[in-house]
Structure 1
Amino acid sequence: MDDIVRQALAKWPNVPHCYGWLGLDARGNWYMRDDRMQAAGPFPQSKGSLLRHEKLVEFIHRNYDHDDRGQWFFQNGPQRVYVELEAAPFIWRIDADFSVSAHTGRAAVPHACFTDEAGRLYFDCDVGFGLVHTLDVAQAAEAIEQGRWTPAEVQSSELPVRFGFIASPAAAKAAA
């Protein structure tokens, strides 16, 4: 977390949390969801505006974390902005040497590999759970053929409970 964010939290500890305004899609893209987009439907059916500002995206990546309930958020100064997840908290990228990193740039070590009923590939890594980016599935398939990873089958509906994340903090808040 950035020092400026820590300082803001100390100065203003009771800023209300924000729900429904930020989404992470299955390709690691961030979307800003204003009131109109939220009224149009849940994420990802109603995505919002793709964030393209490089420095803003880097700031989000540095301040992306989760709470003890498994809700992922971006700590924006004193305000916690909860993230709507299309697939999982992380989107994994795989390099030519089969090293793995998150959409945030953070290096990761896979502990387990899974495929769901739609053929999507996931890793449970030392830093968390995530979906392999569609552009890297061929690279992952090569590693699987080499015996580096052995996928187990899983139902996508079971992923949030099994791996401890909440895909829609806004829906969880509304249901509470």
Structure 2
Amino acid sequence: MEDWALRAMARWPNVPALFGWLSLDRRGRWRIRGELISRPQITDTFDRNYAADEHGRWYFQNGPQRGYVQLETAPLVLRAEAETLRTHNGLAVASPTAAWLDEDGGLWLATEHGPAALSDQEAEWLLVHLHGAQGPVEEAELATALALPAGSRTDLWLKWGELALPLHRLTRAEAPQVLGFAAEPQPLPGEKTSERAPD
């Protein structure tokens, strides 16, 4: 969180939160009311001031006001840079603790930065790093893994660098509960909300 945002929060601690305006799509792109934000100055500010509250609701801290974010997939969207996975807001992933495959073959990770999903544009990276019994995953092994019911451990592993994580199955619908985040944040009872962002 940047200093200017922390100072604004300290000066105006009770500004009502904003819901339903901001979203993050499955490729890690910010949107306001469905419209893609393309200006780097704005997206960079969003990236630097993005966090989660104690209820698993992710938000952008806009000065003294929190704008809660609706999530198309996970709170953090991963992109591959050679052998590094990096979140949409620029954080390198070094020590994930668990990994899952959803019904579409999408990868989900519990990372040191929070719940994450690999961008759907990174399928090639995923296939390189999925391993079965004899090495790189075979098509039949992947099909068998994806046919397993949610909650099952597959025979596949995610391997890159020194890391090797067993892959479990989950469905997209249950991912928020399994990974502990709110895909569509809602106000808590008694929480003050606003209809508009501050000027």
Place the TM-score, normalised by the shorter chain, in its bin.
Answer: 0.7 to 0.9
* TM-score of the two chains, using structure 1 as the length reference: 0.84
TM-score by length of 2: 0.75
What is the aligned-residue identity percentage?
Answer: 36
Alignment coverage as a number of residue pairs:
159
1:173–1:151: structure 2 CA closer, same or farther, 3 Å change rule?
same
Partner of 1:43: none
Matching residue's letter, 2:187? K
Cα gap change, 1:54/1:120 in structure 2, threshold over 3 Å: closer, same or farther?
same
Equivalent in the alignment of 2:73: 87
The structure with the greater share of residues assigned to strand is: 2
Partners of 1:150 and 1:96 in 2: CA distance: 22
CA distance in 2, matches of 1:80, 1:64: 10
Structure 2's unaligned 5+ residue stretches are: 137-156, 160-164, 191-199
Find the counterpart in structure 2 of residue 155 from structure 1. Answer: 171
CA distance in 2, matches of 1:71, 1:122: 18
Which digits, 9 at most, give the CA deviation of each residue in 1:124-150, with x for residues without a partner? 111111110122121121011355144
Cα offsets for 1:48-96 (capped at 9, x unmatched):
2100110110000000000000000000000000000011101011222
Larger Rg, first or second structure (1 or 2)? 2
Q: Quote the Cα distance in structure 2 between the aligned partners of 1:94 and 1:151.
A: 19
Q: In the alignment, does 2:103 pair up with 1:121?
A: no
Structure 2 residue aligned with 1:60, among 40, 46, 59?
A: 46
More helix by share: 1
Tell me how large the CA RMSD over aligned residues is. 1.7
Q: Sort the Cα spacing of 1:174 and 1:111 in 2 relative to 1 into closer, same or farther, 3 A.
A: closer
- Verify the 8 A CA contact 1:121 1:137 in the aligned structure 2: no
Aligned to 1:37: none
Question: Residue type matched to 1:29 in 2?
Answer: R
- Give structure 1 regions of 4+ aligned residues with deviation exceeding 6 angstroms: none
